[in-house]
């Protein structure tokens, strides 16, 4: 099992759309047994895949007891399950501040016989929850809008990981919502030509209406870019 955390220092950078599409790509393109764990209390990733939390479900309790399997639900796509966000996650941060730093990693270990890939849609911000997610992740994928502020946020994340962890996970920056018509975007992408680029596309915005991953619909430049991104992630995880 390999765990990929989708993380951003701030919201509005396309993180959840990327998490949903990467999970779908893992399940369909790679044929991996895949779990998307929606850890953002807003529950957008769960909703996009048409999964609602079960009545009375409490991911916070499942995490405390390292027993998450009963909270997992299938999606309409083969090999792809979801652990949906629920209201209990709003209080998770307070729990983690007073408990062991590897609690989340232990809970994920309970799922290792069931899945090949676990995608974590993390809430934004450098918090105690984020630190636990970093300790559990084999790779941290960081979507960034091409701009000086975004690259500054990435530098802050790298500094935080170097300060807080002895062996931080590798970080993979991804330019998200990139618009080559904008000068700042072109300059940022030119400065980091090695970073993957997901172009700005109406098809990504339309996910909120279709509630379908891009690769489940018509071919588009954004879908092609997402498939390439997942291939790059797979190479890193199996190297």
Residue 201 has pLDDT above 80, yes or no: yes
Domain ranges of the chain: 2-238
At residue 68, does pLDDT exceed 60? yes
CATH number of the domain located at residue range(s) 2-238 in this protein: 3.40.50.300
In the structure, what pLDDT confidence band is assigned to residue 150 with cuts at 50, 70 and 90?
A: confident
pLDDT, mean over the chain = 88
Average pLDDT over residues 88-106: 67
Which run of H or of E encompasses 223?
Answer: helix 221-238
Q: Are 201 and 218 in contact (CB under 8 A)?
A: no
Q: What percent of the chain has pLDDT over 90?
A: 59
Q: Is the pLDDT of residue 14 over 80?
A: yes
Kindly state the tokens that stand for 134: 């970093």
pLDDT at position 40 is 84
Query: What is the pLDDT, as a whole number, of residue 59?
Result: 64
**Does residue 127 surpass a pLDDT of 90?**
no
CA distance 41 to 96: 15
pLDDT band at 70 (very low <50, low <70, confident <90, very high): confident
* Neighbour count for residue 22 (Cβ, 10 Å): 24
pLDDT per residue over 167-193, tens digit each? 999 999 999 999 999 999 999 999 999
Q: Which two tokens stand for residue 60?
A: 């916070």
Tell me what pLDDT residue 64 has: 58
pLDDT winner (highest mean) among 33-37, 133-137, 202-206: 33-37
Name residue 5's beta-bridge partners: 120, 140
The residue ranking higher by pLDDT, 223 or 151, is 223
Q: Are 212 and 206 in contact (CB under 8 A)?
A: no
Q: Inform me whether the pLDDT recorded for 98 exceeds 60.
A: no
């Amino acid at each position: 099992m390999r765990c990929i955390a989708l993380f951003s220092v701030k919201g509005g950078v396309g993180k959840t759309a990327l998490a949903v599409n990467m999970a779908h790509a893992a399940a369909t393109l790679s044929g991996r047994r895949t779990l998307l764990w929606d850890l953002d209390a807003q529950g957008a990733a769960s909703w996009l895949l048409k999964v609602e939390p079960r009545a009375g479900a409490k991911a916070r309790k499942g995490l405390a007891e390292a027993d998450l399997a009963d909270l997992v639900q299938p999606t309409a796509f083969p090999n792809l399950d979801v652990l949906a966000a629920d209201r209990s996650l709003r209080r998770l941060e307070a729990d983690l501040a007073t408990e062991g730093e590897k609690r989340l990693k232990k809970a994920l270990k309970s799922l290792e016989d069931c899945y090949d890939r676990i995608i974590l849609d993390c809430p934004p911000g450098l918090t105690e929850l984020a630190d636990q997610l970093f300790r559990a992740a084999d790779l941290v994928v960081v979507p960034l809008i091409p701009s000086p502020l975004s690259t500054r946020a990435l530098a802050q994340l790298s500094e935080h990981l170097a300060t807080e962890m002895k062996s931080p996970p590798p970080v993979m920056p991804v330019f998200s919502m990139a618009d080559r018509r904008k000068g700042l975007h072109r300059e940022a992408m030119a400065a980091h030509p090695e970073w993957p680029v997901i172009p700005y596309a109406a098809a990504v915005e339309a996910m909120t209406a279709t509630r379908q991953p891009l690769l489940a619909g018509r071919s588009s430049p954004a879908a092609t870019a997402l498939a390439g991104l997942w291939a790059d992630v797979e190479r890193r995880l199996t190297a």
